[in-house]
Amino acid sequence: MELTVKGQTVGAGTGGAVFDNAKPAVVFISGASLDHTVWAVPMRYFAQEGYGVLGPDMPGHGRSDGPPLATIEAMGGWLIDVLDAAGIEVATLIGFSMGCSIALEAAARAPERVRKISLAGAADAMKVHPDLLAAAEAHDHRAFELMVDWCHGAVGHVGGQPAPGLWVLGNAMRLFERAAPGLLFTDLTACNDYTGALATAAKVRCPVQLIVGEMDIMTPPKGAARLAAELADVETVSFAGCGHMTIAERPNETLDALRAFVSVRAFVSAKRT
């Protein structure tokens, strides 16, 4: 699916179904240099279960026109523009990594537009190691190697992914390698420079779910706990032995958590009040 946002084409996944904004909307936001394909499994599930699914690629990502946006604040505003372009009045937002901060920014800016938020790999700060930033700026392949290494826990490095034949680390490497030159550096810089997570979280009043990998070294559990302390209505789901890439390392458990949190019944009843 394609949308037009401020004169630029935005590519978006719909979970394999025709997007219908009359259905309860679930919007998926991806992480640094990634696109909507990281959400393939949950997007397909919710599209078949009566939801209007939208996975917009950020500017400069996937099939969306560039250039990429330089700040998390700008990305949050852009996400609201996407809701407008798709004709979505109210949505549940589901974010991964950088997408978590984007979702929180959007919810703080337009609370009437966001029903619930689920965040996988969120923290009060997303500081990036200087060596990783330097490699990304130089478009050195070592940046991708560091991302793949640091983003995965035991399942990625040792094994145990339930999908037969899926090479977790190799799949992640291909995702990073296909991004445009400089994109990873732009996104990591935006994450590193973002200091407003706690203040933004304090403004959010809708229910929030935090999905945490207990071996996450990119956004450690203690950072998620600090973020949770500022949220008015929050639940936390933790996966033992899992790193930052919960959606790849624990796909079934992640989908189960999302299914329990995102419900048509809750959405409809809340909308009628």
Across 2-6, 169-173, 253-257, least confident range:
169-173
Three-state SS letters, 135-156: HHHCCCHHHHHHHHHHHCCHHH
Tell me the per-residue pLDDT of 102-126, one tens digit each, with 9 for 90 and over.
999 999 999 999 999 999 999 999 9
- Locate 9 and state its tokens: 């084409």
pTM summary value: 0.93
Residue type, 82: V
Whose tokens are 């990634």? That residue is 34
Backbone angles phi, psi at 154, to 5 degrees: -60, -40
Q: Any idea what the Cα angle at residue 249 is, between residues 263 and 220, rounded to 5°? A: 90
In angstroms, rounded to a whole number, what is the distance separating the alpha carbons of residues 1 and 52? 12
Sequence ranges of the domains in the chain:
2-272
Tell me the per-residue pLDDT of 52-106, one tens digit each, with 9 for 90 and over.
999 999 999 999 998 999 999 999 999 999 999 999 999 999 999 999 999 999 9
Select from 70, 60, 74, 201 the least CA-distant residue to 125.
201
The residues near 204 (Cβ < 8 Å, ≥ 6 apart) are 104, 107, 108, 111, 117, 231, 232
Three-state DSSP state, 174: helix
In angstroms, rounded to a whole number, what is the distance separating the alpha carbons of residues 70 and 77? 12
Q: At what angle do helices 141-151 and 183-193 cross, to 10 degrees?
A: 50
Please give the CATH superfamily to which domain 2-272 belongs: Alpha/Beta hydrolase fold, catalytic domain (3.40.50.1820)
How much is the pLDDT for 155? 76
User: Do the Cβ atoms of 153 and 220 come closer than 8 Å?
Assistant: no
Mean of the pLDDT values across residues 206-230? 97
pLDDT at 233 over 50: yes
